[in-house]
Structure formats: structure tokens, C-alpha cells
Amino acid sequence: MSNIPRRKFITTGLAVAAGASGIAVAAKVAQHHGLLPPDAGGIYGPGEALTYAAQRILGRHSMAREFSSTEISTSPFANEVDPLGDEFKRLQAANFVEWRVTVDGMAARPTSFSLAELRSFPTSTQVTMIGCEEGWTYIAEWTGVPLSHILDRVGALSGVRYVVYRSIQLDWWESVDMADALHPQTLLAHRMNGSELPVPFGGPVRMRVPRQLGYKNVKYINRVTLTDNLKPFGKGRGGAAADGGYAWYAGI
């Protein structure tokens, strides 16, 4: 027999080995630079890690598209939510004066803010699109406190890597990395199209993360937790959607 097939076999083997160790090294480097999403394991891990890493490398500080006020949707769609509980109804009946957003975790000064306090903080206004993973979209004007302002107020510790935020609705929570948490367009939104944020759209307070899909824009926020590790939360995949089989990162 010729030695060609053997040579071919050896080069193929070497190529496979080099490829496999290349991937292992890439994963280590990505891990080190915080480019691996919490759902990077499993069969869909490679695609997910590539998407997240690519978007963080290409546009960590990019700005979501902003629109002119003439482009605001005349018929936005609120989507449906699970029936609101008794606690919510009680707060709603009192015009949300007792609504509080508790900020805790890795903060020098964990604080519980009333709605009135949140409304008194500096605001940012944006006309941006909200898009659902299902495919539908609308454009609205959102006003709220930049999440970065809240993190400053509570004295976020330097080791914080994720911000976890929860709805008053049981089992509805998500998290973002610091690229989105500190992003100027990420808001605790309390106004929409010039009025107080309507309840169907998440009032009194909703997280607005315009660089990600609708499911990261959790409604009825009453708790924000700063952490360096998502493992202790839920199934450890960083959000209710991710625990339910969806991707944690929703920039695509």
C-alpha cells in the first residue's frame, strides 16, 4: 500500500486534534473575558456563545436605533400577562404610592426606593422599538431612570457581573450583563408616550433594554439584585425565559 492514505489519515487526525484544542482554548479565553453566556453549555452552547461573544466584541457600547416621534406606533401591542395577583391589585388600587423597588446584593448601600423617589431621579427619554421574539414590533417613547444611575446610588461593588431583576409576578425575572446594565439606554421606565406607564405595558415600572428582545423587558419590577454569579438564581441560566428553554442573551 502507498503511504498516501496513512499520511492523509495522520494529517486529518492532527487537524481534528488542533481544531478541538483550538475550540477549548477559545472557550477559555472567552470565559476569561466574560464572553460566555450562562447558557453556554449543552448542544446549542456553541451557537449561543458565538452570537453573544460576537455582539459583545463588535458593539459593546452600540446604541439601539432611535426613531422620530412621528414614527411612534399608533397601535402598540401590550401582549398578555398572567393574571395580576392580589398584592398588585392592592397596590394598584392605591395608585402605586406604596410600590417599592428594592435594590440589593453586591451594593455598598442596599436601598428600597419608593415610586415617588424613582420618579424624582434624573430621567432619560428614548423613542425606541420593542420587538418580540415571535416577530412583532412597535415603537414608543419611553422615559425612566437609567439603571446605571440606580447602580451608582446604591454603590455597586466592583465585582458585580450581572444585574438580576424581578417582577412582582411570581417566577418572572431576567438578568443582563454589565454591558447592558450600565448602557445609557437601559432604563427603569415609568412613562410611555408622555403618560404614566400603563399597567398592560408594565406600569408602574418596567425594565427597558432596547438592545434585547421583549422578553428581557420585564414588567412590574419590584426587585433588582446585583451579583457576580447567576448560578444561585432559578436553574442558574440567568432568567425565567432561559430556565424555560429560551436563550439568556436576546440581542438576536
Partner 1 sequence: MADRSGREISSAIAVPAGQRKRHSALVRVTHWITTLAFLALLLSGGEIVLSHPRFYWGETGNVNTRPWLNLHLPSSRDTVPTGYGYVLPDENGWSRYLHFQAAWLAVGTGLLYLLFGFFAGHFRRNLFPAASDLSMKPLGASLLRHLRFERPDKEEAWSYNMLQRLTYLFVIFVLFPLMIWTGLAMSFGFTSEFPWAVRLLGGQQTARSLHFLVTILLVLFLFIHVLMVFVAGFRNRMRAMITGRATPPTE
Cell numbers given for 59: 458593539
**50 forms part of the interface with partner 1 (CB under 8 A):** yes
Closest approach of partner 1 to the CB of residue 213, in Å:
7
Out of 64, 84, 178, 199, name the contact with partner 1 by CB under 8 A: 64
Distances (CA, A) of 86 to 168, 169, 202: 11, 10, 16
Q: Which is nearer to partner 1, 46 or 236 (CB)?
A: 46
**83 forms part of the interface with partner 1 (CB under 8 A):** no
**86 forms part of the interface with partner 1 (CB under 8 A):** no
- What's the length of the chain? 252
Sign of the four-CA dihedral 38, 44, 49, 52: negative
CA 109 to chain centre: 23
Cα 185 to Cα 165: distance, rounded to the nearest angstrom: 16
Out of 26, 27, 34, 73, name the contact with partner 1 by CB under 8 A: 73
Closest approach of partner 1 to the CB of residue 4, in Å:
6
In sequence order, the β-bridge partners of residue 187 are 146, 208
Site string (88-117) toward partner 1, x via CB under 8 A? ------------------------------
User: Which range, of 18-26, 73-81, 148-156, 194-202, touches partner 1 by CB under 8 A?
Assistant: 73-81
Show Cβ contacts of residue 50 under 8 Å, excluding neighbours closer than 6 positions. Answer: none
Site string (138-167) toward partner 1, x via CB under 8 A? xx----------------------------
**136 forms part of the interface with partner 1 (CB under 8 A):** yes
Cell numbers given for 249: 442573551
**51 forms part of the interface with partner 1 (CB under 8 A):** yes
Cα 32 to Cα 147: distance, rounded to the nearest angstrom: 25
**67 forms part of the interface with partner 1 (CB under 8 A):** yes
Out of 9, 23, 77, 155, name the contact with partner 1 by CB under 8 A: 77
The answer to whether 166 and 218 have CB atoms below 8 angstroms apart is yes
Closest approach of partner 1 to the CB of residue 81, in Å:
11
Distances (CA, A) of 45 to 26, 49, 208, 231, 246: 13, 6, 26, 16, 12
Taking the CA of residue 93 as centre, how many other CA atoms within 13 Å lie in the half-sphere pointing to its CB? 7
Pairing of strands 221-227, 100-105: parallel
Under the rule (CB under 8 A), what is the footprint of partner 1? 2, 4-5, 44, 46-48, 50-51, 55, 58-59, 62-65, 67, 71, 73, 75-77, 79-80, 129, 131-139, 210-213, 241, 244-247, 250-252
